[in-house]
Amino acid sequence: MECTTSFTMDETAPAYTREQLQELHQKYREMKHNINNTFAVIMALSELGQRNPAHLEKLAKAVLQRSPDVVAQLTHFGDMLGALIKGEPMPPAPKPESGTF
């Protein structure tokens, strides 16, 4: 099978600086770490809840407190990526509601 797809450089596309891409990558790493941390807490509490039902209340609280922060971080990263593509300034980071991040 022969590949017939060809790519051309769009001369009007903005060029991103190394610093912009490094900043975006760093923000991605921070977001990924924070989300993984949240899921680790949720998984640990769910395992504890199987052994001791008293931990299920802590699990429910953790999910309710941390879920909005995960959504906010994902939304913020999408906004940052969109701003970079459009050549706009980076939006400010949201403040975590749970105080965990």
DSSP the chain: ----------TTSPPPPHHHHHHHHHHHHHHHHHHHHHHHHHHHHHHHHHH-TTHHHHHHHHHHHHHHHHHHHHHHHHHHHHHHHHTPPPPPPPPPSSS--
In a domain, 53, yes or no: yes
In a domain, 23, yes or no: yes
In a domain, 33, yes or no: yes
Task: State pTM to two decimals.
Answer: 0.67
> How many Å separate Cα 84 from the centre of its chain?
16
Confidence grade of residue 2 (pLDDT, cut at 50, 70, 90): low
Q: Which two tokens stand for residue 39?
A: 């899921």
In a domain, 97, yes or no: no
Q: What does the pLDDT look like over 49-72, one tens digit per residue?
A: 888 888 888 888 888 888 898 999
In a domain, 42, yes or no: yes
The boundaries of the domain holding residue 71 are 18-86
In a domain, 38, yes or no: yes
- Does 46 score more than 80 pLDDT? yes
Number of domains in the chain: 1
In a domain, 100, yes or no: no
Confidence grade of residue 1 (pLDDT, cut at 50, 70, 90): low
